Chains A and B, each alone.
Chain A
Amino acid sequence: MIGLLILRDVRRGFTGSAWLPLAFFLLVATLVPFAIGPDARLLAQIGPGVLWIAALTAALLPIERLIEPDRSDGVLDQLSLRGVAEEAVAAAKIFAHWLTFAPLLLIAAVPGSALLAMDSASLVRSELALAIGTPGLAALAVAVAAVTAGLPRAGSLAGLLLLPLAVPLLIFGAADALLLEAAATLVLVAGAPFVTAAAIRAART
């Protein structure tokens, strides 16, 4: 059942709006040179940080479709009746979300780095940091989606919840502190399934 659920979520991700966060990511990366001018040295210096800010804002876009449609349509209830623990559902959703989100983001970071006049060494370092940080970001997105599922204006509330909690990922990722970035991801990936499961159970009426 878990394997089926992951396949289903990945299929829904790619047939749905998986390209939207990617376009948004590139858009943010495009805006920065317009905002601060075409000074290549300055752009290259701030490039990794900009890529991270673009990644965080892009992570906000899919939040409303991660949990709420399945909650309101009874899919989460039916999974529970099949004996699938909410924690397992959460872990499957985190993995599936990461699969539809992270690879596209890593690809988009290549043109993004060119827009920011970053050299290839800096791009490789950023890609590595993003690859390590995105599982944490996916876990956080699913947990926040579950906590806000069913609330009015869930999208804006989710932003207020997610962005502060993603600050450790941002700091260690942009500073190229890969071990600390991995530690932050580990904490989020380990904790998010339990937060998500508790929120799913609490939202049942």
Chain B
Amino acid sequence: MSQLLRFEQVSLRRGGRMLFEALDLEIDPGDALHIAGPNGSGKSSLIRLAAGLLHAERGKVERSRLALADDQLALDRELPLGRALRFWGASSQSLDAMGLSQLGDVPVRLLSSGQAKRATLARVIGSGAPLWLLDEPLNGLDHDGSARLDQLIEKHRLAGGAVVAASHLPLAGDWRTLELGR
């Protein structure tokens, strides 16, 4: 499969409400897709569906190996950040890439929300997966953090990876946009 993610006539119903119907989507290596839309339009649900954590009501989803960063930290709070990330196979290089190299010995529970966001992104970067799914990647990130993220996304795409990001904020760079909830 050359495509990294493919939706074929996918419908998703959540809480009795149809979020989208008969959605077709194809993500090739090098692609970047921005899922936009107001709160509650199903951006996060689409990301979780793409990740295989939700199931489509109808249609077919095919996916390659992927990594997900959402608002759940999934790091052991009592461990130092470096060790907690190593559990998921993320090296110190991915810590450096997100500007966290000073914080490798700091317990995860002491991180600020922006630092925690950087840590979830560092896990995605260190995963080695070709497809990145990012749910509201800019939430809590400062200027430096989002600049680093933009650079890393650019690098990832040039290396043949792809990114799907759900965000209600505009994203820097060259993105295809899918507008939900209209």
Contact = CB atoms under 8 A, between A and B. Distances in A.
B103 interface: no
A81 B72 contact: no
Interface in A74-91: 74-75, 77-78, 80-83
Nearest to A15: B78
A75 B88 CA distance: 10
B68 A81 contact: yes
A115 B70 CA distance: 52
Interface of B is mostly: loop
A77 B53 contact: yes
Contacts of A72: 72
B53 A75 contact: no
Given A78-B68, A81-B67, A81-B68, A8 B76 contact: yes
A153 interface: no
Interface of A is mostly: helix
Nearest to A79: B74
A75 B53 CA distance: 12
Interface residues of B, number: 19
Contact of A12 (B48, B54, B68, B76): B76
A15 B75 CA distance: 16
Contacts of A39: none
Interface residues of A, number: 15
Contacts of A81: 51-53, 66-68
Contacts of A83: 65
Interface string B115-141: 000000001000000000000000000
21 contacts: A4-B87, A12-B76, A12-B78, A72-B72, A73-B73, A73-B74, A73-B75, A74-B70, A74-B72, A75-B74, A77-B51, A77-B72, A77-B74, A78-B74, A78-B88, A81-B52, A81-B53, A83-B65, A204-B48, A204-B53, A204-B54
Interface of A: 4, 8, 12, 15, 72-75, 77-78, 80-83, 204
What 10 A-B pairs have minimum CB-CB distances, sorted nearest first?
Answer: A74-B72, A74-B74, A78-B74, A75-B74, A204-B53, A73-B74, A77-B53, A81-B68, A73-B72, A73-B73
